[in-house]
Amino acid sequence: MKMTFRWYGESDPVRLEHIRQIPGMYGIVSAIYDVPVGEVWPVEKLQALRDRIEAAGLRFEVVESVPVHEDIKLGKPTRDRLIANFEQNIRHCAAVGIKVICYNFMPVFDWTRTEMAKELPDGSFTLAFDAEAVAKIDPEQGISLPGWDASYKPEQLKQLLAEYKSIDDEALWRNLEYFLKRIIPVAEAAGVRMAMHPDDPPRPIFGLPRIVKNHDDLLRLTGIVDSPANGITLCSGSLGADLCNDIPSLVRKFGGMGRIHYGHVRNVAVQPDGTFYESAHLSCEGSLDLAEIMKAYHEVGFEGYLRPDHGRMIWGETGKPGYGLYDRALGAGLWRPSSTRL
Ligand code: DNO
């Protein structure tokens, strides 16, 4: 397995040079952030990013994420042009040496939390999700959540939510199938593996469908196009926020099938109603047995990429919630992967 670290580019308060100092660190996971969703990423931008990362002594082989335009998820007539652009992005990524592309198919909202800095008894700060608070939110009245992508104006959001009224789970699956049947052959030809990120949290929110939540959904997803290029990002913290999901057995099953190309590893402390906070990495700190999860990766001979997904804010660090240096670095160290350096 190859240990990687997410880096948001030059504006990230965490420096590449510091990431390099984490023992066993292999590479960086990043993306092009200044091209509108649905448009083509110029290959020169990808090359410049790769060169910057390589100059710091790290590799750039995983992109997270190429975002999927809402019109594709909604199955609108404009989707064909947007899918063609997505295909072009796959080719451009391949041209600079990218091996795995992470993406998701969550309508409107990506990962959702109600608190970005919940203080834990040890004085650290972490991300948290309160299921009851979210259930009380009426998205029609406007949504204000910490970290919520403010790129939608209230009117646009209303319009988008109205468009999703006709999209139930099965309609979203059909639109996903249409998308996968187009992009997977392109990924195969380019030598890139697609890695779908599951829904976070793994349940419908604000009345919007969410279809990648558990074992059966992952099985259905990987069966739509039966190709190694049609794989998953096994996110322990996203799937683990539903206590019914047995993460080590998911790693064994989908890893054994050769369909996990990328793993996000973190712990969560979950209550039965789905309320959770992101705990420290050790198994004893949260609901997930991280040691068992890592054992499962070793058992299946996992050769893909892993990253410490999120971390708490510790030792007075400030910055992007979930994406500080210190606690994520502790995570990468605690798991002792057998990765190699450049
Ligand atoms: C949160 C991340 C997600 C993830 C996307 C993948 O920290 O795990 O935002 O990058 O859902 O498409």
**Cα–Cα distance measured from residue 188 to residue 171, given in angstroms and rounded to the nearest whole number:** 26
Shortest-distance atom of ligand 1 to CA 65: 12
Beta carbons of 33 and 54 less than 8 angstroms apart: no
The mean pLDDT of 265-270, rounded to a whole number, is 97
Residue 124 has pLDDT above 70, yes or no: yes
Strand partners, 38: none
* pLDDT-based confidence at residue 155 (cuts at 50, 70, 90): confident
Of the residues 12, 29, 37, 65, which should be mutated to test ligand 1's pocket, given the most ligand atoms within 8 Å of the CB? Answer: 65
Structure confidence at residue 339 (pLDDT):
47
Shortest-distance atom of ligand 1 to CA 67: 12
Ligand 1 pocket (Cβ < 6 Å) reads 64-65, 102-104, 110-111, 197, 264, 309-310, 322
Q: Give tens-digit pLDDT for 163-213.
A: 999 999 999 999 999 999 999 999 999 999 999 999 999 999 888 999 999
Domain 2-334 homologous superfamily, CATH: Divalent-metal-dependent TIM barrel enzymes (3.20.20.150)
Residue 297 has pLDDT above 80, yes or no: yes
Chain centroid to CA 233: how far? 7
For the chain, list the strands marked E by DSSP.
2-6, 27-30, 59-64, 100-104, 115-119, 125-129, 193-197, 230-235, 260-265, 267-270, 276-279, 305-308
DSSP 330: H
For all residues of the chain together, what is the average pLDDT? 94
Residue 342 has pLDDT above 50, yes or no: no
The mean pLDDT of 302-322, rounded to a whole number, is 96
Shortest-distance atom of ligand 1 to CA 264: 8
Of the residues 64, 89, 108, 239, which should be mutated to test ligand 1's pocket, given the most ligand atoms within 8 Å of the CB? Answer: 64
